[in-house]
Amino acid sequence: MNNLKKPQKKKVLLMGKSGSGKSSMRSIIFSNYVAKDVRRLGATIDVEHSTVKFLGSLILNLWDCGGQDAFTETYLTSQKSQTFSDVGVLIYVFDVESRSFEGSNPRDLLTYTAVVSALAEYSPSAHVFALVHKMDLVQNVFRDQVIQDRTLAIQEYSGVFGKRLKVYGTTIWDQSLYKAWGDIVKSLVPNLHIIDGYLHDLAKETSAEEIILFERATFLTVTNVTSELGECNPYSDRQERLSNVIKTFKHSLSKYTHSSTASHPFTEIAIKAPRFNLILARLTNNTYVLVILPPGDLEIELSRFNIMAAKDRFVELDIMGWAARDTEKLEGKSNGRIKDGR
Amino acid sequence: MSRNDGDGEEDSPKPDDKSTASISSAAHEETTQVNALNGGLEPGNFLHIDHKPRLLLMGLKRSGKSSISNVVFRKMAPHETLFLETTTTIRKEAMHSFMDFQVWDLPGQIDYLDPEFDAESIFGGVGAMIWVLDAIDNYMEPVSRLTETILHLQHSYPDIKYSVFIHKVDSLTEDFRDDTMRDVRQRITDDLYDAGLENPPITYYGTSIYDHSIFEAFSKVMQGLVPQLPTFEALLNTVSASCKFEKAYLFDVYSKVYIASDTTPIDMKAYELCADLIDIIVDMSEVYGWDRGKDQQETDPSKAVASQSAESFVSNIKGYHLYLKEINRSAL
Ligand SMILES: Nc1nc2c(ncn2[C@@H]2O[C@H](COP(=O)(O)OP(=O)(O)OP(=O)(O)O)[C@@H](O)[C@H]2O)c(=O)[nH]1
Ligand SMILES: Nc1nc2c(ncn2[C@@H]2O[C@H](COP(=O)(O)OP(=O)(O)O)[C@@H](O)[C@H]2O)c(=O)[nH]1
Ligand SMILES: [Mg+2]
Ligand SMILES: [Mg+2]
């Protein structure tokens, strides 16, 4: 039983043609770069390994695989088993501007096919996410069409992963990046339903229209609870917009305080507006919680109190790791990814 | 490190069913304070509605004028300026803060110095001119065009204040940026000196739409147009002293331009922090400020009134706090 208290390790492969933007997105999501900083990055030589702790329960082993032809060649030959075994997730990045995507010689897709078949051989249960990146270079009106077309093409070349594959259009210049990475990481967090449960409890104690749990360092969404009223909100991209804008604020904060971004930059942001109250508060070592409430001074004070009260429960999870907690609560149930409905 | 106070001030009041009706009493009080100040000034200052000060954006084509105007006044994301087409007519942006003024984006290809041209319609009533100069392009031509323009306008419109935005500096390394700025300044000063103009009223800024520098520079230019600047500064000094704020800014929320600050030294990083907080507030006010219809009306109206002017507090940034209070009505 002891091993259940240990966080789960997941290997994440980041692959795609050189210059497609792999290191750029990784630096923004995990290393506190802002979009304009990525120009400083050089081409990745071989594989850059990094380890990222996500919540208390998940350790991501990121393999940022340099995409120049010579490197790709070795991943598919001499380093094949080493590269493709034990993979939890493959993130394959396509440059939307690439000239070798379609046509008589669709090199991007052919390389991709070779990669997914190697993956099918060594890690058949892995998840595959395809990101069509640099969407900012496509004019707004054409974006949906481009994504539709590319999705079909990529699916066709995905072999056994074709059905489970998820495709996202992304750019480092807006929240689309946070949408994609939020979903990727969510597919890996063990026992998300337990966290969900606690969040629902918290929701019941407040008059919240929406509660969102964010991971502290990346500000990616872990999970959320939305009331019936909240479901009517016409802005469906609000979670990733928040991730994006808070991340930028955090970046300025760390410049301002000269502190590492790993530390807690602030305790709480509160906004009192005519139509809503917002509290974004540090919940545990690894999380921030966002609560959207009806307007009025009383609401905000009450909720602050409820968040404080809920803290202990979440903190307990933080320390023990969610996996351990899971076995206590759901004895006899398997420890698989329950949230995963695909 | 400092304690900051971003004071909110907002652009064009968007008609909005409920919030127009009931502006909170607190907001009224503070607005009145500001108005009272206006009354104390000598008459004839250009704050009157019928006399909007004008700010001109000039420079060669592709130097970045339309990009600047769109990023600052229309919240366009910087990378989207790549899709901007060449401007062929004068584009006018109106900014309604407690000071109303206009920003005119002048297309680069028109020869404004042509005697046929109705100069008065453009340059009459201008408070400031911003000359945008592309730092990554050859700057010989823009420098000589600028000096020609200044010399031409100097006699008829001696009160225009000039700012040179040495623009797109994000593309230059730090060393090169400083060299470029020094060189541009030297050339302009020399050219004007040779033509007999000493100590021209020009201020230089290195700017980029990809960071806060464009907002910072615009703030400084705007402040040059606010005749009551000393009064605002004194007022903010008082606020800072009595509330123990380390720094207080008066912001136009929508453009993130600050109209005044107290007179303690400006910390660029503190300004950036305030600007980023404003981004959060504006963004969240958009996505969570949607009209909830009758559901929301059911809440106690007395409660709703209490927050008619937006307010935000960020606590415990290494022991310091950030506070924003909206002073007059806005779309927040
Ligand atoms: N327009 C645009 N450019 C981007 C975007 N993301 C990355 N880039 C640019 O793409 C270039 C290459 O990015 P990298 O992240 O180094 O590419 P990579 O995939 O890691 O390349 P290798 O390491 O050689 O495999 C950089 O100069 C970035 O500025 C995006 O969303 N939009
Ligand atoms: N790198 C960089 N490019 C910029 C900046 N500002 C504008 N640009 C680019 O310069 C080009 C010309 O801009 P535009 O606003 O149309 O110039 P205008 O003719 O002066 O109005 C556009 O492609 C912009 O994206 C900047 O600060 N940095
Ligand atoms: Mg790389
Ligand atoms: Mg233009």
Say if residue A113 is in the same domain as residue A128: yes
Say if residue A212 is in the same domain as residue A323: yes
Contacts of residue A270 in chain B, CB cutoff 8 Å? 312-315
Which pLDDT value is given to residue A205? 80
We report the CATH number of the domain holding residue A63 as: 3.40.50.300
Tell me which amino acid residue A210 is. E
Question: What is the sign, positive or negative, of the torsion defined by CA atoms of B66, B69, B74, B77?
Answer: positive
CA A193 – CA A197 distance, rounded (Å): 6
Question: Does any domain span residue A2?
Answer: no
Say if residue A135 is in the same domain as residue A280: no
Which pLDDT value is given to residue B97? 63
Q: Which residue among B210, B272, B289 places its CB closest to the CB of A276?
A: B289
CA B135 – CA A137 distance, rounded (Å): 23
**Those residues with Cβ within 8 angstroms of residue A250's Cβ, 6 or more apart along the chain or in another chain:** A32, A219, A261, A265
Helix axes B25-39, B229-243, angle to 10 degrees: 140
Beta bridge partners of A89: A12, A127
**Those residues with Cβ within 8 angstroms of residue A97's Cβ, 6 or more apart along the chain or in another chain:** A134, A137
Which pLDDT value is given to residue A104? 76
> What is residue A101's DSSP assignment?
S
Q: Tell me which ligand sits closest to the C-alpha of residue B211.
A: 2
Q: Whose CA is nearest to atom 12 of ligand 1?
A: A19
Q: Could you tell me if the CB of B66 is within 6 A of ligand 2?
A: yes
Task: Please state the CATH superfamily assignment of the domain spanning residues B54-223 in this structure.
Answer: P-loop containing nucleotide triphosphate hydrolases (3.40.50.300)
Which pLDDT value is given to residue B252? 86
Across the interface, whether the CB atoms of A273 and B295 are under 8 A apart is answered no
**Domain range holding A268?**
192-334
Question: Does any domain span residue A31?
Answer: yes
CA A304 – CA A307 distance, rounded (Å): 5
Tell me which amino acid residue A218 is. T
Say if residue A237 is in the same domain as residue A171: no
Question: Does any domain span residue A92?
Answer: yes
* Interface contact A248, partner B, CB < 8 A: yes
At residue A59, what are phi and psi to the nearest 5 degrees?
A: -115, 120
Say if residue A16 is in the same domain as residue A165: yes
As a whole number, the mean pLDDT across chain B is 77
Which pLDDT value is given to residue A323? 43
SS3 category, B165: strand
Q: Where in chain B is the domain with CATH 3.30.450.190?
A: 3-43+227-326
- Expressed in angstroms and rounded, the spacing between residue A215 Cα and the centre of ligand 1 is 25
Beta bridge partners of A64: A14, A48
Say if residue A181 is in the same domain as residue A234: no
**Among candidate residues A151, A186, A221, the one where a domain is terminated:** A186
Q: Whose CA is nearest to atom 30 of ligand 1?
A: A134
SS3 category, B55: strand
Return the HEC string of A20-46.
Answer: CCHHHHHHHHHCCCCHHHHHHCCCCCC
Say if residue A281 is in the same domain as residue A199: yes
Q: What is the pLDDT along chain A (342 residues), one digit of tens a residue?
A: 444 456 789 999 999 999 999 999 999 999 888 888 888 889 999 999 999 988 877 899 999 999 999 999 999 999 999 999 999 999 999 999 988 787 777 889 999 999 999 999 999 999 999 999 999 999 989 999 999 999 999 999 999 999 899 999 999 999 999 999 999 998 888 878 888 888 888 888 888 899 999 998 899 999 999 998 889 999 999 999 999 999 988 888 888 877 665 566 788 899 988 889 999 998 888 889 999 988 887 777 777 777 777 777 777 666 444 444 444 343 333 333 333 333
* Interface contact A278, partner B, CB < 8 A: yes
Question: Does any domain span residue A147?
Answer: yes
Q: Give how many domains chain A has, as a whole number.
A: 2
CA B70 – CA B78 distance, rounded (Å): 9
Say if residue A252 is in the same domain as residue A330: yes
Which pLDDT value is given to residue A91? 97
Which pLDDT value is given to residue A24? 96
ipTM of the complex: 0.82
CATH architecture of B3-43+227-326: 2-Layer Sandwich (3.30)
- Count CB-CB contacts under 10 A for residue A2: 6
Q: Where in chain B is the domain with CATH 3.40.50.300?
A: 54-223
Which pLDDT value is given to residue B269? 83
Q: Which residue among B77, B211, B273 places its CB closest to the CB of A173?
A: B77
Across the interface, whether the CB atoms of B313 and A269 are under 8 A apart is answered yes
Q: Could you tell me if the CB of A31 is within 6 A of ligand 1?
A: no
Which pLDDT value is given to residue B99? 67
Question: Does any domain span residue A339?
Answer: no
Say if residue A170 is in the same domain as residue A251: no
Across the interface, whether the CB atoms of B307 and A277 are under 8 A apart is answered yes
Q: Which residue among A173, A174, A274 places its CB closest to the CB of B310?
A: A274
At residue B264, what are phi and psi to the nearest 5 degrees?
A: -70, 155
Contacts of residue B294 in chain A, CB cutoff 8 Å? none
Beta bridge partners of A198: none
The ranges of chain B with pLDDT < 50 are: 1-50, 301-307, 330-332
Closest by CA position to B279, among listed B233, B309, B314: B314
Here the tokens at position B237 are 């000094």
Which pLDDT value is given to residue B110? 73
